[in-house]
Each structure stands twice: as structure tokens, then as C-alpha cells.
């Protein structure tokens, strides 16, 4: 098991979530320090996506709080500047190419347009850099969505099913991305039905299990 956090950046404290009339989870707690990964697991309908959206301030919790350096995330401008969220939908403009989508995101998020081509290379998207997203395969679209993490630097990554539609090569690329982010002191909270393949990375990853 990974060592306990020594310097908490992200803290989930007593979190509860209700959707409709149904309690998805309650009394959920987690502390994450720089360089940590945590995987949210559980069956369909247990609240994995809801949890990630609450952490990012995109949804409200029934009870509890999410803190970033001790500040409530929903009202923290620092958190908004340091959090990157990639949902289970790719969020790409179908008529724009990979390069154009990433350049658009860089401008929108205050990132670096010069990082677009290196991000395309790192995610193995050279063959489709100028192809409209609507004509890409599902795996290419997913890698393009994840490439946004490299054009606007954020210390916390919140990812919903990052390995969806990826083949073995694509999974390897994304796991390498996670490992490099961790080694640089970044944090990643992600939900996935699939375990990490890279043994060393899996050994460093904490698990946050949700049950229905």
C-alpha cells in the first residue's frame, strides 16, 4: 500500500450524494498529496461520475465538503486554475481537427498554443492531426480529449473513464502520461472500470471504492 499523504492538497471530507430520491454514497473521505493517484471504483450507478463532478464543482453534494489547500473548491479561484477535468464525453468540436481542437482549448484555458504539436506527438496523434474529430475513430477522439491535459498545465487531473475506447497502445500512452504527471508532483483522481496495467503505476495508485 502507498504511504499515507504527508502534505494534503485535495481533501474530500464526509461527502454524501443523493440523486433523485436515491442515496449514492455518504461519509466519503479521501486525502491526496502531491504525486498521488487515486482510482474511483464501483459498479454502474454507484456515483463515480457524480463524485468527480462534485470534486470539480460541477455538481452539488448533499453533505460534506471538498477542499483544495484547505479552501472549499466551489469558491476557490486557485482551485479553478489548477484543476483539469476530462469527462466521459470527449467534448471535441466535430468540425475541427485534433490540432484545431487543442489550439482552441489552449486559448480557452489560458494554456500554451506552442504545446499543441508536442501534445499531438506525445499522444500518438500524428496521423490524424489534421482530420476533423467527427471523422476520427473513438480511440483517436479519446486521445485528443486527453491531450488537452498537456496544453494547459494543471496540478490536479480529474478523469472519467480515461481508458474508454483505447487499444493496448493507447492505454500504454495514457498510463505513461499519468506516471509522468505523478512524478512531476501532480495529482490524479480518476474513475475507471479497468485496472491499471503498468504494475509499478498500479502499485502507487490508491483505491476509493463506491458501493451501491
Q: Is the model more confident about 116 or about 200?
A: 116
Q: Which of 35-39, 107-111, 120-124 has the weakest average pLDDT?
A: 107-111
Grade residue 212 by pLDDT with cuts at 50, 70 and 90.
low
Instruction: Cell 491526496: give the residue.
Output: 32
pLDDT at residue 6 is higher than 60: no
Grade residue 48 by pLDDT with cuts at 50, 70 and 90.
very high
Res 64: pLDDT: 96
* Overall average pLDDT of the 39-63 stretch: 94
Residues for the chain: how many in total? Answer: 212
Total-model pTM? 0.92
For 90, list phi and psi in degrees, rounded to 5. Answer: -70, -30
Res 1: pLDDT: 41
Query: How many whole angstroms separate alpha carbon 4 and alpha carbon 7?
Result: 9
Mean pLDDT over the full length of the chain: 92
Res 2: pLDDT: 44
Distance of CA 209 to CAs 1, 8, 43, 206, Å?
A: 15, 20, 9, 10
| Contact predicate 5/206, CB 8 Å | no
pLDDT tens column, 180-200: 999 999 999 999 988 898 888
Res 4: pLDDT: 42
To which CATH superfamily is domain 10-209 assigned? Answer: P-loop containing nucleotide triphosphate hydrolases (3.40.50.300)
Res 9: pLDDT: 94
CA dihedral 154, 42, 44, 56 (to 10 degrees): -20
| Run of H or E including 209 | strand 205-209
Res 168: pLDDT: 93
pLDDT at residue 7 is higher than 80: no
Parse the chain into domains and list their residue ranges: 10-209
* Overall average pLDDT of the 102-112 stretch: 94
| Contact predicate 90/142, CB 8 Å | yes
Residues in contact with 45: Cβ distance below 8 Å, sequence separation at least 6, in sequence order? 24, 212
Amino acid at each position: 500500500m502507498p504511504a499515507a499523504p504527508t502534505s494534503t492538497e485535495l481533501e474530500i471530507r464526509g461527502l454524501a450524494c443523493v440523486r433523485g430520491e436515491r442515496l449514492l454514497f455518504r461519509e466519503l473521505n479521501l486525502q491526496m498529496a502531491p504525486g498521488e493517484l487515486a482510482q474511483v471504483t464501483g459498479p454502474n450507478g454507484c456515483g463515480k461520475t457524480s463524485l468527480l463532478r462534485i470534486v470539480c464543482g460541477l455538481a452539488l453534494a448533499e453533505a460534506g465538503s471538498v477542499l483544495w489547500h484547505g479552501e472549499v473548491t466551489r469558491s476557490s479561484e486557485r482551485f479553478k486554475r489548477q484543476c483539469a477535468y476530462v469527462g466521459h464525453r470527449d467534448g471535441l468540436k466535430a468540425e475541427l481537427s485534433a490540432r484545431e481542437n487543442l489550439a482552441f482549448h489552449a486559448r480557452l484555458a489560458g494554456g500554451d498554443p506552442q504545446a499543441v504539436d508536442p501534445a499531438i506527438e506525445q499522444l500518438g496523434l500524428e496521423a490524424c492531426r489534421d482530420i476533423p474529430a467527427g471523422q476520427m475513430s473513438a480511440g483517436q477522439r479519446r486521445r485528443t480529449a486527453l491531450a488537452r491535459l498537456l496544453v494547459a498545465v494543471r496540478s490536479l487531473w480529474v478523469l472519467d473513464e480515461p481508458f474508454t475506447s483505447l487499444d493496448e497502445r493507447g492505454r500504454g500512452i495514457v498510463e505513461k502520461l499519468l506516471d509522468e504527471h505523478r512524478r512531476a508532483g501532480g495529482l490524479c483522481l480518476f474513475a475507471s472500470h479497468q485496472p491499471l496495467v503498468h504494475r509499478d503505476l498500479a502499485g502507487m495508485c490508491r483505491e476509493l471504492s463506491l458501493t451501491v
